[in-house]
Amino acid sequence: MNYISTRGSIAGVSAAHAIRTGIAADGGLFTPETMVKLSSSELESLKNKSYQELAVDILSRYLSDYPKADLVTMVESAYRYPDKFADPRVTPVTELRKGEYILELWHGPTCAFKDVALQLLPYLMTKASELTQDRSGIVILVATSGDTGKAALEGFRDVPGTSIVVFFPDQGVSEIQRMQMVTQEGRNTFVAAVKGNFDDAQNGVKEIFGDAKIIEKLAGHKLAFSSANSINWGRLAPQIVYYFFGYLELCRQGVIALGDPMNITVPTGNFGNILAAYFAMRMGLPVRKLICASNANNVLTDFINSGVYDRNRQFYTTISPSMDILISSNLERLLYYLTGSDPKRVNEWMQSLKNTGRYQVDTQTRAEIQRTFIGGFTAETETKATIKKVFEERKLALDTHTAVGVSVYERYRQETGDNLPVLIASTASPFKFNSSVLEAILGESAVAGINEFALLDKLSGLSGMEIPAGLKNLDKKAIRHKTVCGKAEMGQVVQELLKLK
Ligand SMILES: *Cc1c(COP(=O)(O)O)cnc(C)c1O
CA distance 148 to 153: 8
> Which one-letter DSSP state was computed for residue 196?
S
Per-residue pLDDT at 468: 96
Task: Report the pLDDT value the prediction gives residue 34, as an integer from 0 to 100.
Answer: 95
pLDDT value at residue 145: 84
Q: What is the whole-number distance in angstroms between the Cα of residue 274 and the centre of ligand 1?
A: 9
Position 275 scores a pLDDT of: 98
Nearest CA to ligand 1 atom 11: 427
Atom of ligand 1 at shortest range from CA of 268: 9
| The pLDDT value given to residue 343 | 97
Cβ of residue 271 lying under 6 Å from some atom of ligand 1 = yes
293 close to 267: Cβ distance less than 8 angstroms: yes
Distance CA 107, CA 366 (A): 36
Quick check: CB of 267 below 6 Å from ligand 1? yes
Write out pLDDT tens, residues 301-310: 999 999 999 9
In order of 255, 264, 289, 418, 419, the CA distances from 261 in angstroms are 11, 10, 9, 12, 11
- From 268, 274, 332, 408, the mutation candidate for ligand 1 (largest count of ligand atoms within 8 A of CB) is 268
Please choose from 113, 174, 320, 407 the residue to mutate so as to test ligand 1's pocket, defined by most ligand atoms within 8 A of CB: 113
Predicted structure pTM score: 0.97
Task: Report how far residue 63's alpha carbon sits from residue 280's, in angstroms, rounded to the nearest whole number.
Answer: 15
Cβ contact 118:154 at 8 Å: yes
Q: Which of 21, 12, 9, 11 is nearest to 233 (CA)?
A: 21
Q: Is 269 in the pocket of ligand 1 (CB under 6 A)?
A: yes
State if residue 322 touches ligand 1 by the CB under 6 angstroms criterion. Answer: yes
Q: Which parts of the chain have pLDDT scores under 50?
A: none
Q: Strands 262-267, 287-294: parallel, antiparallel or unpaired by DSSP?
A: parallel
pLDDT of residue 206: 84
* Residues 170-191 pLDDT 10s: 988 888 999 999 999 999 999 9
Ligand 1 atom nearest to CA at 106: 13
- Helical ranges in 34-164 per DSSP H: 40-45, 51-62, 68-78, 114-118, 121-131, 147-156
The predicted pLDDT at position 203 comes to 84
DSSP state at residue 171: T
Which sequence positions are flagged as catalytic? 114
Q: Among 427, 429, 436, 437, which residue has the most ligand 1 atoms within 8 Å of its CB, making it the best to mutate?
A: 427
